[in-house]
Structure 1
Amino acid sequence: MNKEEQVLTAFRDLFNKRSWLNKTKMESSLKGHKPSEVHCIEYIGTLTDANVTRLAESLYMTRGAISKITQKLLRKGLIESYRKPENQKEIYFRLTEEGRDIWRIHDELHREFRDRDRPVFEHVTDDQYDGMLSFMEKYSRHLDEELKKQGLTRKAGVEAEAEDV
């Protein structure tokens, strides 16, 4: 295996291990909420004037997939929709109190996981971080260009898997 393959395999393995390690705690703490719903809640809590288009761009999903997720979240009472007086056409979303509770739990879990992993990161030097960040930025730009070539810009997004919606 060459260095490129080693790096890509290591990225995939790290992501999979971290997901597997976090999965049980996430599922038990956020019972009844699918990952796509929780991530949508996270972005609605983070974005100013979150709408279907902005959520689709942020989550790399289609607007149709986001519409399905937001409809579920509305039915569950985790978000509410609103319109601005100057733009009655566009629908925006904000979290309800129950939605903010889910957002807080999710944020606390991420903080807990970062604390768990801190012993590794406290030994990384600034130069090492800079090198890793530089590589990730270059690779991300390359992937953005490849997405654009295939007509899959952030606006187009990618389809969410049906069972996750």
Structure 2
Amino acid sequence: MEFKMGKGSQDFILNKIETLMTKLTLGNHEEEEWHTLLSESDLAYRDQVTLSECHIIDYIGKNRLTNAIGIATNMNITKGGVSKITARLVKKGFIEVHRLEGNRKEIFFTLTNEGKKIYELHDKLHVRVCQRITDLFDSYTESELQAIGRFFSELTDIV
């Protein structure tokens, strides 16, 4: 596959990095920054939301009326893991469970107002990370950015 980048090189690479991070189910390296961001906020529930819970909230916020199977499939988490996390989030008041008329079996999730605050805070975390990466791009030439972009494109295609 031939890979050519032009004017949107940085946006393309950022998109590929976010895709890779999602596929690898973000680890502890982001946890410290998440807790720092929570402690800077005025939210009363600073210590109540783990990064794993936050990623589920983020997925629900981006995908209206999503179900456990959709979360599990797209986030590479077992259905049992999704069930445990969503049960905690319901108990904490960050998400709500819904059933559609005529289909009482299937469960869908939406964010509560408190869940929307966490969703927005998580977006702020991603803005911070993306800004640091964008700042790093300034130290590379266009041909180096093309090589990095090709690498991430090929890597995300095989992961």
Q: TM-score, normalised by structure 1?
A: 0.65
Partner of 1:84: 100
SS at match of 1:50: coil
Deviates more, 1:104-113 or 1:25-34: 25-34
Percent identity at matched positions? 31
Q: Which position in structure 2 is the counterpart of 1:62? A: 78
Residues 1:106 and 1:49: Cα distance change in structure 2 (over 3 Å): same
Distance 2:157 2:49 in 1: 32
Q: Secondary structure at the match of 1:31?
A: helix
Residue among 19, 25, 42 paired with 2:30 = 19
* Residue type at the aligned position of 1:57: T
TM-aligned CA deviation for residue 45 of structure 1: 0.3
RMSD between aligned residues: 2.8
Matched, 1:28 2:44: no
Deviation at 1:23, TM superposition (A): 5.0
Give the partner amino acid of 1:36.
Answer: S
Q: Which residue identity is paired with 2:33?
A: N
Contact 1:26 1:109 in 2 (8 A): yes
SS in structure 2 at match of 1:91: strand
Residues 34 and 51 in structure 2, CA contact (< 8 A), matched pair in contact too: no
Counterpart residue identity of residue 101, structure 2: P
Q: Give the TM-score taking structure 2 as reference length.
A: 0.67
What residue is the counterpart of 2:63 in the other structure? Answer: 47
Q: 1:140 to 1:91 in 2, by over 3 A?
A: same
**Paired amino acid for 1:64:** G
Q: In 2, Cα distance between the equivalents of 1:41 and 1:23?
A: 14
What is the correspondence of 1:1-165 to structure 2 with a 5 Å cutoff? 19=30, 22=33, 24-26=35-37, 28-29=39-40, 30-124=46-140, 127-143=143-159
Letter in 1 for 2:131: D
Inter-CA distance 131–42: structure 2 relative to 1 (3 Å threshold): same
CA contact (8 A) 1:37 1:69 kept: yes
Contact 1:22 1:113 in 2 (8 A): no
Counterpart contact for 2:31–2:51, Cα < 8 Å: no
How far apart are 1:40 and its partner, in Å?
0.5
Q: 1:44 to 1:117 in 2, by over 3 A?
A: same
Structure 2 counterpart of 1:28, one-letter code: S
